[in-house]
Amino acid sequence: MAKVKSKYICQTCGYESTGYLGKCPECGSWSSFVEEILASESKTTIDLPDKNPPQKLSEIEMNSEIRLSTKISEFDRVLGGGIVQGSLVLIAGDPGIGKSTILLQTSGELCKNNKKVLYISAEESASQIKLRAERLGVESDNLYIYPQTNFELIKKHIEEMAPDLVIVDSIQAIYTSTIQSSAGSVSQIRECCNSLMSIAKTNNISIIVIGHVTKEGNIAGPKVLEHMVDTVIQFEGDKYKTYRILRSIKNRFGNTSEVGIFEMSSKGLTEVVNPSELFLKEYNQTQTPGSTIIVTSEGTRPLLVEIQALVGTTPYPTPRRVANGVDVSRVLQILAVLEKRIGLNLSKQDVYVNVIGGIDVSEPAADLGIALAIITCVRDVIFDSHTAIVGEIGLSGEIRAVNHIDKRITEAQKLGFKRIIIPEANEISNDIKGIEVLKVKRIIEAITRAVTK
């Protein structure tokens, strides 16, 4: 008789305990421990060394078709040029954001190139998948739909069919019989993901798994799930808007923080070829004080987005500081620099900062644009609509250099901007022509050059 062992596992972070705990000492979550019974004989063995003995680096032969192109350029951009063969990719996002839609579209595009795709649906029936496929215009004899939740059966069919791509929808809905706990538990997710990784590496099959997110927006399941996979992609977007942002937050085979922009329609997700133009399409119609244009960088892609600021007198003892799309702590730091270095008194003013278009801007190169938006609102002057801004603000009020400056300038020029304000410390290429480059060393210089009376 198998020796049975019982453990209590935190369903938030995967912390294990021999007894029940009300609060997890690792992540601090309450009432998250669930008892799981594990059989000692049910450990998964990985047979990678049998099929893949050690090789000299110089003797390893690379397949010329090392990546599978999805034929969706925005998706390929985020993946680093396509799906690497034998890789394990995790895509996570809110319910209804478009995870299943984009993967079904990807399946259709791959099948057009005579690639075999196995779509494992653990949450929908085959007829429901067929209904969505008809709406998206996906139809191919190379696309196989397999509604199944048992991992042992899933593994059997993957090894028998040897498809070019396997899609698992979703990792939280499948289970292995070797663990006596419900699907979606930490142990089930960890074991199933580990086994999928073994299948991918041993058989050189690309696998994409869909993951759920928690109410806080984090990927559901243990943190080890993100460590095991090769690529982690987050689907972002507002359910009240049609635009979706696909963001790479981990990629062993490409750039991280790369983004792809899509628009959701009745026929699925369509690519947005020029996202900067999308984010600025209403800019010229809203020429008011407190509005500036910055050139931010997401991965290797420069994007022009509009920053808006609103400053008003507060009736309360403590003024409000609200930021949407940028880190509020970054805004607080900029406000402190403005008060100390240029004498802008904001101690009795509410300050609101918003990034138009629903994109999150996290890099410090947006500092100067945020500062000028606040200043133009306070002084009731209009920012020059033909000028873009990029620059990081130091605590002494100096403007510090940023990366990818040539790409940022070129993107601003393509969108019709006549001038761009950049840090003085940045060196630019001699090939930059057709746009006036204004170099500034301190905030006060940028103010005099960027506003119109």
Backbone angles phi, psi at 17, to 5 degrees: -145, 150
pLDDT of the residue at 410: 93
- Which residue from 191, 192, 186, 218 is spatially nearest to 17, judged by alpha carbons? 186
Q: What average pLDDT does the segment 219-231 reach?
A: 84
The stretch 343-366 carries a mean pLDDT of: 91
Cα dihedral sign, 400-375-338-347: negative
**Rounded Cα distance, 20 and 435, in Å:** 65
66-273 matches 278-452 in fold: no
364/408 Cα distance (integer angstroms): 14
pLDDT band at residue 357 using 50, 70 and 90 as cut-offs: confident
DSSP 395-419: TTSBEEP-S-HHHHHHHHHHTT-SE
pLDDT value, residue 100: 93
Convert the pLDDT of each residue in 100-113 to its tens digit.
Answer: 999 999 999 999 99
HSE, side-chain direction, 13 A CA sphere, residue 171: 34
Question: pLDDT tens across 141-158, in order?
Answer: 999 999 999 999 999 999
Residue 328 has phi, psi (to 5 degrees) of -65, -30
Give the model confidence (pLDDT) of 308-325 as tens digits.
999 999 988 999 999 999
| CATH 3.30.230.10 fits domain 278-452 | yes
307 or 216: whose pLDDT is higher? 307
Alpha-carbon distance of 213 to 239, in angstroms, equals 15
pLDDT digits over 63-89, tens only?
666 889 999 999 999 999 999 999 999
Residue-by-residue DSSP string for 211-235:
E-B-TTSSBSS-THHHHHSSEEEEE
Q: What is the CATH class of 66-273?
A: alpha beta
Ordered by start, the domain boundaries in the chain are 1-41, 66-273, 278-452
- b/e burial code for range 392-424 (CB count within 10 A of at least 16 → b): bbeeebbbbebebbeebbbbbbebebebbbbbe
- The answer to whether 235 touches 93, Cβ cutoff 8 Å, is yes
Residues 6+ apart with CB under 8 A from 136: 101, 104, 105, 108, 267, 268
Measure the CA–CA gap between 317 and 347, rounded to whole angstroms: 10
pLDDT tens digits along 258-301: 889 898 888 889 998 888 877 777 676 557 899 999 999 887 78
H or E segment to which residue 304 belongs: strand 301-313
Mean pLDDT calculated for residue range 392-414: 93
> What is the residue-averaged pLDDT of the chain?
88
- Residue-wise pLDDT for 15-66, tens only, equals 888 889 999 898 888 888 888 776 555 444 444 455 667 888 888 877 666 8
For residue 307, which phi and psi values (nearest 5 degrees)?
-110, 130
Dist CA 324 CA 242 (whole Å): 18
- Please tell me the number of Cα atoms within 13 Å of 25 on its side-chain side: 6
Q: Cα(168)–Cα(101) distance, rounded to whole angstroms?
A: 13
Q: What's the residue count for the chain?
A: 453
